[in-house]
Amino acid sequence: MAACALLLGACAAKPPIQTPVLVQTPPRVVVVMDPQLTELLAYQSALRLMTPSELVKAQLDLAKADHAPHNTVRRAMLQATVRGPGDLARAQALLEPLATATGKDAQLLAPLVQLLSSQYAELRRQDESIDKLNAQLRDAQRRNDLLNEKLEALKNIERSLSVRPAAGAPK
């Protein structure tokens, strides 16, 4: 019996030995928003909801403000929101000095400035593309109108021709 138990025990599979696996979790990143950035993002959101008269009032208020970096970003945001001819270019021009500035406030605002500048550049490219397509559309419509006029002229000529008698009909 003891021999049988030994034989059966030898046949039984041994459980595999599990080696512990170390799993590294990425470090937890805690972003502390600067109050200035939070305020600028809130200002951008508020601009989108403003009426044209409120935008004009905001322009007048910003004209009186100092030329601190955060006010310059506000001016650029406002220019881009108004979207008159050349406003996006002016907004980009306002942001250019901030992108290369070395002051503490300017460095804090640098990522936002880069984002806004690239966004305004893309909007300018889209506006230029829209203008180009509109010009092509106007040209195509003009050509279409000319062709329609020619077609109508040909129809009038055809109607004005006297009707020919059928072949073999007595005169």
pLDDT tens-digit map of 54-108: 999 999 999 898 888 999 999 999 999 988 888 999 999 999 998 888 888 888 8
**Distance, CA of 170 to CA of 92 (rounded, Å):** 84
Residue 18 lies in a domain: no
Type of residue found at 5: A
pLDDT at residue 22 in the model: 74
For the entire predicted model, the pTM comes to 0.66
Helix (H) or strand (E) holding 168: none
Closest to 72 (Cα-Cα) out of 88, 93, 57: 93
Residue 113 lies in a domain: yes
Residue 119 lies in a domain: yes
Ramachandran region of residue 168, left (φ > 0), alpha (ψ -120 to 50) or beta?
left
Closest to 79 (Cα-Cα) out of 63, 100, 97, 99: 63
Residue with tokens 């208020």: 61
pLDDT range class, residue 143, cuts 50, 70, 90: very high
Residue 14 lies in a domain: no
Number of domains in the chain: 1
Residue 23 lies in a domain: no
Non-local (6+) Cβ contacts of 106 within 8 A are 69, 98, 113
Residue 48 lies in a domain: yes
Residue 86 lies in a domain: yes
Residue 134 lies in a domain: yes
Task: Tell me the residue range of the domain where 149 lies.
Answer: 35-159
